Amino acid sequence: MHGLREGPLSDDAVSRFIADNCVPVALNLYVVRKAKGLGGDFFRNVQKQRPAQYQGLYLVRPEGKVLASHQNFKSHKTWPRELLADLQPGLRAFGEVKPRNARLVDPLPERGVGAPKDRGACLAVFLRYSIKGIPLRELPNPTIDSLVLTAGELAELAPAKVEAGAAWKLSEALGRKFCRVLGPGDENTMPRPNEVKSVRFVGKVKSVVGGIAQVTYEGEIAGSHETQSNRGKCHGKAQLTGVGTYDAKAGRLLSLVWVFEGTFIAPPRYDKPARSYSGVVEWRQERAGRAAAFTPAGSPPAARSPR
């Protein structure tokens, strides 16, 4: 379903159609087409029935018969209507369905907020290519991701000495986990921790007022990844500028916002020109007006699965 998340799947009519009539399942094409066992066999049978379709949506009976599918569209403006036009005949062929009672839920209640005791935190990650001079609605779809840190790793983001001017360096092991900011796309373009070539993140206490320390962060990270198609490596590098707050009395980090300015180079044939992109990593200790997302299946609205 790559490319559909921020398009038709965010449309109310499409979401309602799927929520009321279907059991949604999101699959990683790179994984499922090679998977051994019943899941892989089921998907390969689906693909055989629609050999011209690479990705998109399939409406399938439990026993594996494909009733309808959707991949191509004519216009972004009419994409939701085109998707429904492709899938509705399949629903009619299936027969009467008793609508499910979907409810509003937050599929990732701890993403970007909170630090459960002894469990660390889940940082929210957003990436998007930077293209000047075009309307915001025409920018490429963003990468929405998560970065899970242990309690010890979260503590490493906080200053050991709470006084103005105190500085510290984050460990290389923790820095490597931020490899997720190096690939603005799906996991095919994202370097893994062991593929980070260089990383240096440092923090500094800017000021302390009323027991609350204002913290700044800076640094850089770079890495390369062999794409899953084995057609060559992609490369990413990014500069960090960040801020955070720390409660000296409670001894806990309160919030952080890291902004990355990066450059991504695709594998050969597509490696010129290099493309600039921006990224944000954010987290806060306390919840503050997070809205619930409509996700009937409980699947995260993310381009990449949280880790």
Give tens-digit pLDDT for 215-234: 999 999 999 998 877 678 99
pTM: 0.73
User: What crossing angle do the helices spanning 12-21 and 79-94 adopt, rounded to 10°?
Assistant: 20
pLDDT above 90 for 77? no
Residue 4 confidence (pLDDT): 52
Both tokens of 24, joined, read 């949604």
Mean per-residue pLDDT for 165-179?
97
pLDDT tens by residue, 85-136 = 999 999 999 999 887 776 778 888 889 998 877 778 999 999 998 876 666 6
pLDDT tens by residue, 1-18 = 334 545 688 788 998 899
Residue 302 confidence (pLDDT): 38
Beta strands in 130-228 (DSSP E): 143-149, 167-169, 196-209, 212-226
Name the average pLDDT for the chain: 86
Distance CA 187, CA 180 (A): 9
Question: In terms of pLDDT, which residue wins out, 54 or 305?
Answer: 54
Q: What are phi and psi of 88, to 5 degrees?
A: -60, -35
Neighbours of 144 (CB within 10 A): 19
Neighbours of 143 (CB within 10 A): 23
Percent of the chain's residues with pLDDT above 70 = 87
Distance CA 185, CA 218 (A): 24
DSSP 20-70: HH-------HHHHTT--SHHHHHHHHHHHHSTT--SSEEEE-TTS-EEEEE
Distance CA 88, CA 98 (A): 15
Both tokens of 277, joined, read 């992109």
CB hemisphere CA count around 76 (13 angstroms): 11
